[in-house]
Amino acid sequence: MFWLFSLTLAFNLRLGVAQEILLAVDTKQEKNYNLWLKGRDCMSVDIYQGHNASRLSIELVLICKALRLGGLNSPILFKPSANYTRSIVSAEKGYAALSSTSVWRDEIDTDLFYMSPPIFKPGQFVKAFFTTEEKRVGIEQDIAEALAQGKSPLTVLSKFSILTSKKWKHDWAIATKLGIPKNDASESANRCKMLANERGDLYLGELAMVGRFNLAIPCLNKVTLYPIRGVKITFDTARHFIISKKYPNAKQISEALNKGLTLLKASGELDRALYPFPDLKRDIDDWVELNPKFVKN
């Protein structure tokens, strides 16, 4: 018996049969969504800012709004899932209609899933190195000195170790390509403890779909991680939402989602969700790019 949380209850169904739409939702994603919306309907969201407005919760709002705008007013229910991978597996088996977080294009089997238009096009998913406030100040100073001497920021960053996971193959691959030492730490709580205890130095955190102006990541107890400003990594792979082909009326759900996302894009709302603070985006655009594929000659 699944524990389900209803996003909406009293709407007429427009599918051929009465049907609930199940979303495989990461437990952290559900928590942040609830803290952010505080019982509000997803359609009431038009500003993507707030302490709990992160990519996980923002993507969930976008799915909800897109399905509604696409013409589906069926009840949308949460099926809790342990993590990103479990959510995909749940959708793959048809237990849920969607994994409610975007998925890397090269991880999508189109024999099993319908695929939405890209939520992040190639070159739109951007990360930075995060660390404790104490280390951040010193690293930023060292990077500024390196740049003044015509050296790459990597001459500084390669002296530190990054906490990531082999399961996150894109993060792992870029850290390997850049020559930054890596420690495998798959659980977020473990990464926080390791950083707090100085058993690692850096963490790759997201810069897009962040509703906190300082971009800080609350990590553990009083430990907060801050981005090392001035350097970034851009990923060259798109991310999409996926709809299980095994789920009842999957094609209709996919068509509604795609229609809604197209409307959100046309209205400019999808872009506002990508970067809730335009001034901050302009700053990030000027940061030094470390991914060789996006370095401008």
> CA-to-CA distance for 90 and 115, rounded, in angstroms?
16
Q: Are residues 112 and 246 in the same domain?
A: yes
Q: Is 176 within a domain?
A: yes
> CA-to-CA distance for 191 and 172, rounded, in angstroms?
15
Q: Would you say how long the chain is, in residues?
A: 297
Q: How would you class 296 by CB atoms within 10 Å of its CB: exposed for 0-12, middle for 13-18, buried for 19 or more?
A: exposed
Q: Which residue has the tokens 């939520």?
A: 119
> CA-to-CA distance for 178 and 127, rounded, in angstroms?
14
Instruction: Report which DSSP code applies to 230.
Output: T
Q: Are residues 55 and 169 in the same domain?
A: no
> CA-to-CA distance for 281 and 273, rounded, in angstroms?
12
Q: How would you class 166 by CB atoms within 10 Å of its CB: exposed for 0-12, middle for 13-18, buried for 19 or more?
A: exposed
Q: Are residues 52 and 198 in the same domain?
A: no
What pLDDT is attached to residue 200? 87
Q: Are residues 38 and 153 in the same domain?
A: no
Q: Are residues 225 and 180 in the same domain?
A: yes
Q: Is 246 within a domain?
A: yes
Q: Are residues 57 and 178 in the same domain?
A: no
Instruction: Give the total number of structural domains in the chain.
Output: 2
Q: Is 142 within a domain?
A: yes
Q: Are residues 112 and 230 in the same domain?
A: no
Q: Are residues 144 and 9 in the same domain?
A: no
Give Dmax (Cα) for the chain. Answer: 67
Amino acid at 246: K
CATH of the domain at 31: 3.40.190.10
CATH of the domain at 159: 3.40.190
What pLDDT is attached to residue 128? 97
The end-to-end CA distance of the chain, in Å, is 57
Query: How large is the angle between the packed helices 55-69 and 27-37, nearest 10 degrees?
Result: 70
Q: Are residues 225 and 248 in the same domain?
A: no
Q: Is 278 within a domain?
A: no
Instruction: Report which DSSP code applies to 120.
Output: B
Q: Is 134 within a domain?
A: yes
- Cβ neighbours, 10 Å, residue 49: 13
> CA-to-CA distance for 47 and 35, rounded, in angstroms?
15
Q: How would you class 141 by CB atoms within 10 Å of its CB: exposed for 0-12, middle for 13-18, buried for 19 or more?
A: exposed
Look up the pTM and report it: 0.90
Q: Is 274 within a domain?
A: no
What pLDDT is attached to residue 19? 78
Q: How are strands ordered across the β-sheet holding 76-81? A: 5-6, 76-81, 21-26, 98-104, 239-244, 113-115
Residue 179 in tokens = 């020559």
Q: Are residues 36 and 100 in the same domain?
A: yes
Q: How would you class 129 by CB atoms within 10 Å of its CB: exposed for 0-12, middle for 13-18, buried for 19 or more?
A: buried
Q: Is 167 within a domain?
A: yes
Whole domain around residue 108: which residue ranges?
5-121+238-266
Q: Which residue has the tokens 């609350």?
A: 218
Q: Are residues 131 and 229 in the same domain?
A: yes
Do 233 and 290 form a contact (C-beta atoms < 8 A)? yes
pLDDT (tens digit, 0 to 9) for every residue of the chain, 297 residues total?
A: 444 444 433 333 344 444 799 999 988 899 999 999 999 999 999 999 999 999 999 999 999 999 999 999 899 999 999 888 899 999 999 999 999 899 999 999 999 999 999 999 999 999 999 999 989 999 999 999 999 999 999 999 999 999 988 888 999 999 999 999 998 876 666 777 888 788 889 999 999 999 998 999 888 777 889 999 999 999 999 999 999 999 999 999 999 999 999 999 999 999 999 999 999 999 999 999 999 887 765
Phi, psi (deg, nearest 5) at residue 265 = -70, -45
Amino acid at 280: L
Q: Is 275 within a domain?
A: no
Amino acid at 40: R
Residue 178 in tokens = 């850049």
Q: Are residues 57 and 84 in the same domain?
A: yes
